[in-house]
Amino acid sequence: METIIRNVRELPSEERRVYEAAVGRALQENQQVLIQVITPPEFPAREAPSESVGDASTAFAALPDWCDVYSGLTEDEIVEVERIALTRSEMTRSFH
């Protein structure tokens, strides 16, 4: 991991505008910009579908297993899971 620290007061105006655009607000003279460059861990490659679909099959192979949470469910079961999740996300439950 590489960390870069820049004092806002020392930034050339063009570079400061770039950082301000990135964070979405004006930076103060007494602040610092901290940039970390990391290499995230790679997910294990999944078996690609048998039929190639261009770039989509490559992207699919790179997805983690949890992206397949609906695998094996019928359309009605998926609708019910979604209904329950949305109900809980609104912090409301029906007690019958």
How many helices (DSSP H) and strands (DSSP E) are in the chain?
3, 2
Percentage of residues in the chain with pLDDT exceeding 90?
A: 29
Q: What is the pLDDT of residues 9-52, one digit of tens each?
A: 999 999 999 999 998 999 999 999 999 888 888 766 555 555 54
Q: Are residues 21 and 54 in the same domain?
A: no
End-to-end CA distance of the chain: 53
Contact 71, 46 (CB under 8 A): no
Check residue 78 and give its pLDDT: 86
By residue range, what is the domain housing residue 74? 42-96
Q: Are residues 33 and 46 in the same domain?
A: no
Q: Give the residue with greater pLDDT, 7 vs 81.
A: 7
Q: Are residues 24 and 61 in the same domain?
A: no
Q: Are residues 14 and 56 in the same domain?
A: no
Q: Are residues 24 and 49 in the same domain?
A: no
For residue 20, count other CB atoms closer than 10 A to its CB.
Answer: 15
For residue 17, count other CB atoms closer than 10 A to its CB.
Answer: 13
Q: Are residues 29 and 71 in the same domain?
A: no
Q: What is the pLDDT of residues 42-90, one digit of tens each?
A: 766 555 555 545 555 555 567 777 777 888 888 898 888 888 887 776 6
Q: Are residues 27 and 46 in the same domain?
A: no
Contact 30, 9 (CB under 8 A): yes
Please tell me the total count of domains within the chain: 2
Check residue 83 and give its pLDDT: 84
Contact 64, 29 (CB under 8 A): no
Q: Are residues 48 and 95 in the same domain?
A: yes
Residues facing residue 3 across a β-bridge: 36
Q: Are residues 84 and 60 in the same domain?
A: yes
Retrieve residue 13's tokens.
């105006």
